[in-house]
Structures are given as structure tokens and as C-alpha cells.
Amino acid sequence: MKDSTKSSRLRVSLLCALTVGLAVASLVAVSGIATAASPRATRPLEKGLKVFVIPKNLGNSYFTTADSVKTQGALYALKRLGEVGTETSGTAATPSSQIPAIEGAITKGANILIVSATDPSALCPTLKGAMARGVTVVTYDSDAPACRDLFVDQANAQGIGDIEVDIIAKEMGDAGQLAVVSAAPTATNQNAWIVYMKQELKKYPKIKLVKIVYGMDDTATSTTVTEGLLTAYPNLKGIISPTSVGLPAVAAVLDTAKYRGVVQVTGLATPLAMKKYVLDGTCPEFALWNPADLGYLAAYAAVNYASGAISNAPGQSFVGGKLGKYTVGAKDTILLGLPFVFNKSNISQFHF
């Protein structure tokens, strides 16, 4: 009888020990303490990676700000991370101009490509070929969803679409004909914003969207299509141009006594490019994010991914240098933040 009792007590003790052990193991796993199941938490970032930053086109002030060391953009971040950063692209914002730069970067032994996609489909064969060779592909500003590892998005697409419509509606007095001067018909970011613009316009039934035209991220083309709009729609009351090249070009056309304050304009652009038009009343308000922060964040995200410190699974997090902690969201996307509105009260504070 005593032996039986002793055996029972032993079994209970062993069972309790096993239960406690399992509980501790579960607690460790849930709390994120480094274990064999979570090696990414302490993995150091690799140094000396060859990183090619490939904007839509060179000579574009928006991408110069996003990429350069001087503005603390992508190349600045790569330098701080101990990587070898190079900016390269074509001179036109077209796939035929951008693809040779991507191919050249791959030939030169790229470990990482950071790309603002001119076309989500045309670039895919080249980008997929890079990924098959083990090259990390991160898109920023404009996405190519089917052929990259991560996308660093400048702001929530709906937030951008909504704020642009709300600004122009206020300036137009909630009524009149409206047009959009976009970049290229294939630009994924522009198209996403326009979808949300159309939804937001339902709040303003007296505003009619009469035309969407494309300036191809080229000043001369944007100027020409704007002049065409003014001729075709003599009663036009507002223009939205969600492109850093297009908005200054549109504003320059409207910066006359005939149109200033009569045809309202807003969109997305850099403060220095728009300062004159904001101060003289041609464009009272417009929105943007800091493109230098976008490039900076894209660099940190790309190096963390290439180093194996994060995956593209939702919930993965990393520290983006001076910008702080970021988390991978749905569809392999990292969001920089909310758009910011520039006007007379604040535009002189910004120098990019």
C-alpha cells in the first residue's frame, strides 16, 4: 500500500514538472525571448552589401530628395549602415529607360535593388530574374506587387486620395468642373490614389470630374496637357496633380492673372518646388510626405530584409534608424505615415 502511494505521488510530481516546463516554454515563445524559433530577433545586419537605388528617372527633384546623401535620403541611410549605395536609372520615367539600369545593376553584382516602378508589369521579368538569383528587391514610392519582397509606401493610398479631394473641394467652394493631371497611365501609386479620389468625390455631388490626363512625369508634357484642359474646358474650376513634376508644371500655367484664384490647383510636390505658387496664391495648399524619409526608410527595410533580420510576414518589425520602429503590414507593405499639408503658414520651414 505504501509503495502504491509513493508511486502515485511520483507520477503526480513528474506530471506537474512537465506541465510547468511546457508553460515556461510557451511563455518564452509568446514573449519573444530569443529561441531557436525566433533567430531574427538578434541577427546582426550585414555590411558591405551592394545596393542600387533605382528611381523612376534621374533629374527628378522628388527622387533627388528621396535618394541623396545631402537630404539624408536612401544613400545617406545606406552609408550609415555600412553598405555600398549607388543611384542609377534612365532619364525618362518609362520602363524602356529604367529597365537597362536595373539590368546593369544586376550585372554589377547587386545584393539589393530599391526600385520605384515605372510600370508594375513591364519591370516584372527583370525583377523576378533578380530575385531568382537571390537579390533582394524592395519597391518604394511606386509598387510592382508581383515581383518584389517588400514595398515601402509613402502614405496610405486612401489618405492621399481623400486629402487631395478635400483640399480642392474647399478651394472650389464644393462645386464645379475638376480635372486630374496624373503621371503615367501605368503608375500604380497614381492609379490607386485616383481610385480613392473618385470615392471621396461622392461627398461633393456638385463637383464633376471631367477628365484625367497624363503628363508622364515630364514638365513639358504636363504643361501641354494642362493647357489642353484649359482650352477644352473653359469653365474648369480645379485641377489635382498628384505628381511632383506635374503639380509645379500645372501651377506655372495657372500662375497668371487670368487663372490665379479662378482655377484652383492642389496635389503632391516638394515644398521648394511649390513655395512660389503657395506664397502668391496660385496653389494655397498641397500635400506630401518627406521624400527623404521615404528613401531612408526603404534603405533600412531593404538591408534588414537582405540580412535576414526580418521577413515580409505581417507583424515583423525593425528599427528604421532615426525614424524609429516600423512593422510590416498586409501585402508585404511598410507604411511611412500620414500625408502632411503645406500652406503659407508653414512652407518656409521646409527646405527640400
Q: Could you tell me if residue 72 is inside a domain?
A: yes
> Where among 288, 309, 325 does a domain terminate?
288
For residues 274 and 127, membership in a common domain is answered with: no
Which range marks the domain in which residue 144 is found?
50-155+291-337
Contacts for 78-82 with beta carbons within 8 Å, 24 or more apart?
78/51, 78/53, 78/299, 78/303, 80/321, 81/45, 81/47, 81/299, 81/300, 81/303, 82/45, 82/47, 82/48
Q: Could you tell me if residue 29 is inside a domain?
A: no
Residue 13 has which C-alpha cell? 510530481
Residues facing residue 240 across a β-bridge:
180, 266
| Burial (CB count within 10 angstroms: exposed 0-12, middle 13-18, buried 19+), residue 212 | middle
Q: Could you tell me if residue 13 is inside a domain?
A: no
Residues facing residue 326 across a β-bridge:
318
Q: Could you tell me if residue 242 is inside a domain?
A: yes
Q: Could you tell me if residue 21 is inside a domain?
A: no
CA distance 250 to 266: 9
Other Cβ atoms within 10 Å of 232 Cβ, number: 12
Give the strands of the sheet with 207-214, arranged side by side.
207-214, 176-182, 236-241, 264-267
Beta-strand pair 176-182/207-214: parallel
For residues 117 and 189, membership in a common domain is answered with: no
For residues 125 and 273, membership in a common domain is answered with: no
For residues 251 and 306, membership in a common domain is answered with: no
8 A C-beta contact, residue 85 and residue 53: yes
For residues 146 and 261, membership in a common domain is answered with: no
Looking at residue 42, its pLDDT comes to: 55
CA distance 59 to 240: 23
For residues 194 and 277, membership in a common domain is answered with: yes
For residues 74 and 146, membership in a common domain is answered with: yes
Q: Could you tell me if residue 39 is inside a domain?
A: no
For residues 217 and 147, membership in a common domain is answered with: no
Looking at residue 72, its pLDDT comes to: 96
For residues 278 and 295, membership in a common domain is answered with: no
CA distance 153 to 328: 11
> Where among 256, 288, 320 does a domain terminate?
288
For residues 171 and 244, membership in a common domain is answered with: yes
Q: Could you tell me if residue 298 is inside a domain?
A: yes
8 A C-beta contact, residue 118 and residue 142: yes
CATH number of the domain at 231, please.
3.40.50.2300
For residues 93 and 181, membership in a common domain is answered with: no
Among the listed residues 198, 206, 131, 133, the one whose alpha carbon sits nearest the alpha carbon of residue 175: 206
Residue 289 has which C-alpha cell? 510626405
For residues 191 and 222, membership in a common domain is answered with: yes
Q: Could you tell me if residue 24 is inside a domain?
A: no
Residue 20 has which C-alpha cell? 510547468
Into how many domains does the chain fold? Answer: 2
Tens-level pLDDT at each residue, the chain (352 residues) = 334 333 333 333 333 333 333 333 332 332 232 223 334 445 799 999 999 999 999 999 899 999 999 999 999 999 999 999 999 999 999 999 999 999 999 999 999 999 999 999 999 999 999 999 999 999 999 999 999 999 999 988 999 999 999 999 999 999 999 999 999 999 999 999 999 999 999 999 999 999 999 999 999 999 999 999 999 999 999 999 999 999 999 999 999 999 999 999 999 999 999 999 999 999 999 999 999 999 999 999 999 999 999 999 999 999 999 999 999 999 999 999 989 999 999 999 888 8
